[in-house]
Structures are given as C-alpha cells and as structure tokens.
Amino acid sequence: MRFDVLRVYTQKPAGIPAGFFYKEIIVAQLQQLFDYTGHLPECPTWSEDEQALYWADILEREIHRYHIASGEHQVVRFPEEVGCFALREQGGFIVAMRSAIWLSEPDGTLVQKVCDNPSNPRLARFNDGGTDRDGRFYAGTFWSPDDYNGALLVRVDNQLRTSVIQCDIRGANGLAFSADRKWMYTSDTPNAVIYRTPLDAQGEPGHREVFRCFNAGEGIPDGAAMDEEGCYWSAMYNGWRIARFSPEGEQLAEFRLPVRCPTMVCFGGQDMKTLFITTTRENMRPEEIAAYPLSGAIFTLPVDVAGMKKPPFRSR
C-alpha cells in the first residue's frame, strides 16, 4: 500500500531575505513495508550483510526479521519484553529485556547474562537503544509510573563491562551518534526534549545539553537516527510526523504520516537512502484503530540523503 504524503521543507534557501517565512511542500511516496501491524514495534535495525530489516515488538516479546528481496518474515520470541537490541558481530543479538541484558543466539536462545537492569525492573523496563561507532551497546529505561525522572542510560562496552552513562531521565529514547563522532543524541520522550552530549576521542560523554524542546501539539520525540550530513531524524510520537533537524537544532523538513504515533526510524537499503519507520497502536481505543488501521505498521520512505549505518555489537 502506498501513500502520497507531504514532505515539508522549512529551511530557507539562499536568496530568501531574513524575516520571510519559507515553506516548500513536495509530495513524497510512503509505502507500507508489507502486510503487518504490530502492538509496539520499535528499534528498527538494518542488516547490510543480509539486506534485511530487524525490529522489536516490545509488548509481544519478539524480534522480527523481514528480508526485502524474498519477503520472508521471521519472528523470534523471548521470555520478557524486548526494549531494544543490536545485532552481534558473532551472530545473534544483544538484547535488553525487562529484567536484564543478555547475549542470545539467532533463534532467541539466551546464552549469557550481561547485567541486571540497574533500575527497578517492576517500574522501569528497558526501552530505546543501539550501538555507537565502536560497537558498544547502549540501552535506556522507561520509568512507567511517570511521577519523576527515574530512568537511566546504560552502556555495555566491548569487554561486557556495564556502566550507567546518564540518569535524570523519565523515558530514554532517541539514541543516535553523529558522523564526526563528536556527539551523542538522546531524547526524553515524556519530557518532550532532545539532548546532545559531547564525546571525547575515546567516546566518553561530557555534560549533556538541550538540543531542542517541543510544545504541545508538535508531538514528542521518540526514536531517532542520524544521516551523513549530521542531521537528526526524530519520530514525533503523537505528532503524525517524522522531523529532520540540523546540527544546530533547526527543523529542516517534516514528513507527514497517516498514523498518529511513529516510534522510531532507521536508514537502510542498498544506498542507505530508505527510511524505515515503525509505528504503534499501544493504548489506542478500538475506534482509533478502526479509523487508522495502519497504526502499528512499518513504512518505508525514499529520502535524498544517506543515513548512518549501525555497527554491530562487538565483544572480545
């Protein structure tokens, strides 16, 4: 199923005088990946070697794989909610479930516990995560009571050592790393803010700073990805859209969607110019699902700039 969607550019081209508002609207083609709707699809991850898309359905406790050329769809089931995962260099996954982070075989067999959830697992499950340029794995938690900033961000290094990188978060999301290796981006979805954190030459984080905040009606920043030009692409949950931001935090473009709640984006395809978009139907009333039956679907969108590749998790 294909849709013509609005692709709205708000960056001023050269020659437009200061003080003039500029908006260019182009029709872009959004396509459903295949006939599938999930409960809470998240963490889309492109495998360049396999030319396949992986993603988690958190609440269904699953990791999915879809091979683009053949249309083969596989589902791997786990004993707990799968907040996020990364493909391992040796094969299989590193997977952050509610109570712990594990290494697993490709079929989901758990082979080694890396660490327990350092949050209270009854109140905070793992959520968004991924790898940095050195193949280290990051996983953030989501504080379910929503009464204070009780979540955090954990890193697993290449020796399987675990450390808490950041705290004072209500719902960790939006992890992405800049092409120049100088910045880590994260979002705190319930608090409607995107942060960026400077990284030193070893990839160690400094003091985070606010990158952009959002007002009511704009949507709130969920999962994200970076492109090769240093721009940050955010799934705007409750916002019906994907937004692209410059390294200075200016919105350059947005892509309107036929569903309310996108959850995350990643780049893929042979040229890394396909944007994969996961969406959800979690907590939606039957009337909304009936009105917007593609809530929970995965979409693809051709874009003009290549995205950053996600390295596999590397352990020694």
Could you tell me the CATH number of the domain that includes residue 199? 2.120.10.30
What is the pLDDT, as a whole number, of residue 20?
44
Domain-located, residue 123: yes
User: Within a 10 A sphere around the Cβ of 188, how many other Cβ atoms?
Assistant: 22
* CA-only gyration radius of the chain, Å: 18
**161 is written with which tokens?**
């050592």
- Alpha helices by DSSP H, 77-229: none
Domain span at 89: 2-302
Residue 138, Cβ neighbours under 10 Å: how many?
23
What's residue 316's pLDDT? Answer: 81
**Predicted confidence (pLDDT) per residue in 18-51, tens digit:** 544 444 444 468 999 999 999 999 999 999 999 9
Displacement of CA 275 from its chain's centroid (Å):
11
291: part of which helix (H) or strand (E)?
A: helix 286-291
CA distance readout (Å), 287 to 22, 36, 75, 176: 37, 19, 28, 35
| Alpha carbons 125 and 171: distance in angstroms, whole number | 10
Q: Which of 222, 227, 271, 304 is catalytic?
A: 222
Looking at the domain assignment, is residue 311 inside a domain?
A: no
Structural domain total, the chain: 1
Among 249, 231, 239, smallest CA distance to 215 is for: 239
| Cα 132 to Cα 185: distance, rounded to the nearest angstrom | 11
Active site residue 116: no
139: in domain: yes
pLDDT of the residue at 29: 86
Query: Within a domain: residue 312?
Result: no
Instruction: Please say whether the beta carbons of 242 and 255 come within 8 A.
Output: yes
Indicate whether 310 belongs to any domain. no
The backbone torsions φ and ψ at residue 288, rounded to the nearest 5 degrees and listed phi first, read -70, -40
Cα torsion for 129, 133, 135, 137, to the nearest 10°?
-20
Query: Looking at the domain assignment, is residue 314 inside a domain?
Result: no
The stretches in the chain having pLDDT less than 70 are 1-28
H helix or E strand, kind and range, residue 156:
strand 151-156
* Residue 285 in domain: yes
Distance separating alpha carbons of residues 241 and 218, to the nearest angstrom: 9
Is 251 inside a domain boundary? yes
